[in-house]
Structure 1
Amino acid sequence: MPAVLEKEKNTVKKKGRPKIPDYLVYEILGNKKIYYRGYEKVLSGELPPEAIMGSSSLQAWIVALIVRFLAKSLDYKKYMLLTNEVGYFYTPQRKSKWLNLDIAIVDRKKLEQLSNTYLKIPPEVVIEIDTKADLSKIGDNYYIEKTKRLLESGIKKVVWIFTEQKKIQIAEKDAPWLIVDFDYEFEMIDGVNFNLKKLLEEDGIKL
């Protein structure tokens, strides 16, 4: 095929591609838009947006369990627990880049007046359970990149819980990152020890 016709063919293809609406953007990681997993089915009309934005029952259960545990264990005069996919501006530009957080432990003294905007100050600890992000283009590098961005923004500890692999990643700035099993007990913050396997068993959950 002549080069001119090939160029015209590619142009038609590009013009025919549907624009991905902003409501399907899950996060802005660096200069990349990360979309919700399954966004292509929304574009094709196979699924409504709500079908890909909700949490799984397992993820929701684990979030609720951890929040309940931390609410009992933390000094609530010192810390605030935020959950429900907290939006967090992690750069000085703030409005241009954000990440979603499953659970955030925030120092009340640093917490600005509550508003309808995303969080602007770094939490002390962030806990993530799996992800709703589409990883078809970025792959598992997503977890490393998101963790790095969060730590660089001033967050002291980032904990990832991977339910399928039954592993936990514990990351702190200027310290080796750990990959451990669910039964590994570690300090979450201020002497509060966390053991996910024990927590799950006490609630009657077996993974």
Structure 2
Amino acid sequence: MATAIENKIVKKKRGRKKIPDYLVYEILGNKRIYYKDYKKVLSGELPPEAIMGSSELHAWIIDLILRVLYSQLNKEKYKILLGEVGYFYTSSRSKKWLNLDIAIVSREKLKKPQGTYLKVPPEVVIEVDTKADLSEVGDEYFVIKTEKLLKSGVKKVIWIFTDAKKIQIAENKTPWIIVDFDYEFEIIDNIKINLEKLLKEDMK
């Protein structure tokens, strides 16, 4: 016979509202990561579109980086993919994916568009903040996601944190570094940027 406590747990599980798949932002390891403020969508406070959009600063920084890349990157060698590109970072049948703000992919590895998530590792991934809900995973999210990307074959992962005005640059077999916005760093093939300088020049 089930105890009162067991009955209470069963009732709680039955009454738990299923979270729709469209609110899943990424699959990080074996954990579903939801969009930030997804609970407000479940409660009816916000429509789904309200939590999936980017901030003005996020979009501004993406634009500045793309301007540099489009003007200097060898377009015959690389393809730039953007707009929360879905990336299958494992060959597992479970199809675990991560979203990428900017992915620089070798054209040698990239096939014709197949209408599915990216299956080959980018050379470089650039992320500006995150739309992920971190209430359960915490700031370890950034480390875990970076490690998953590097382990999958990505050569460099660049995180830009707008609140702290810091940039994290991670590569395999070298120490990760965290620098200020005014630090000039290389994206790929000697293409370098100083984010603070770019922002100041563009806001004149």
Pick the TM interval, shorter chain.
over 0.9
* Counterpart in the other structure of 1:118: 117
Change (3 A) 1:102 1:94: farther
Q: What's the secondary structure of 1:82's corresponding residue?
A: strand
TM-fit CA distance, 1:10: 2.0
Which ranges in structure 2 are unaligned for 5 or more consecutive residues?
none
* Counterpart in the other structure of 2:19: 20
TM-fit CA distance, 1:22: 0.6
Distance (whole Å) between structure 2 residues aligned to residue 198 and residue 57 of structure 1 = 18
Residues 89 and 95 of structure 1 are in contact (CA less than 8 Å); yes or no, is this contact kept in structure 2?
A: no
Change (3 A) 1:5 1:50: same
Which amino acid is 2:163 matched to? E
Deviates more, 1:192-201 or 1:171-180: 192-201
Distance (whole Å) between structure 2 residues aligned to residue 100 and residue 178 of structure 1 = 22
Q: What's the secondary structure of 1:110's corresponding residue?
A: coil
* Counterpart in the other structure of 1:33: 32
Which ranges in structure 1 are unaligned for 5 or more consecutive residues?
none
* Counterpart in the other structure of 1:174: 173
Which amino acid is 1:114 matched to? P
Question: Structure 1 length normalisation: TM-score?
Answer: 0.95
Distance (whole Å) between structure 2 residues aligned to residue 188 and residue 63 of structure 1 = 13
* Counterpart in the other structure of 1:78: 77
Change (3 A) 1:81 1:94: farther
Distance (whole Å) between structure 2 residues aligned to residue 142 and residue 57 of structure 1 = 23
Matched, 1:136 2:124: no
Distance (whole Å) between structure 2 residues aligned to residue 69 and residue 201 of structure 1 = 15
Distance (whole Å) between structure 2 residues aligned to residue 43 and residue 65 of structure 1 = 35
TM-fit CA distance, 1:94: 5.9
Residues 94 and 120 of structure 1 are in contact (CA less than 8 Å); yes or no, is this contact kept in structure 2?
A: no
Poorly superposed stretches of 4+, deviation over 4 Å: none
Which amino acid is 1:56 matched to? S
Aligned-residue sequence identity (percent) comes to: 66
Distance (whole Å) between structure 2 residues aligned to residue 105 and residue 175 of structure 1 = 20
Q: What's the secondary structure of 1:171's corresponding residue?
A: strand
Distance (whole Å) between structure 2 residues aligned to residue 75 and residue 195 of structure 1 = 20
1:89-114 CA distances to partner (integer Å, 9 max, x unpaired)? 00012652000000011111111111
Deviates more, 1:44-53 or 1:170-179: 44-53
Question: Structure 2 length normalisation: TM-score?
Answer: 0.96
Change (3 A) 1:94 1:28: same
RMSD across aligned positions (CA): 1.2
Residues 27 and 35 of structure 1 are in contact (CA less than 8 Å); yes or no, is this contact kept in structure 2?
A: yes
Change (3 A) 1:95 1:86: farther
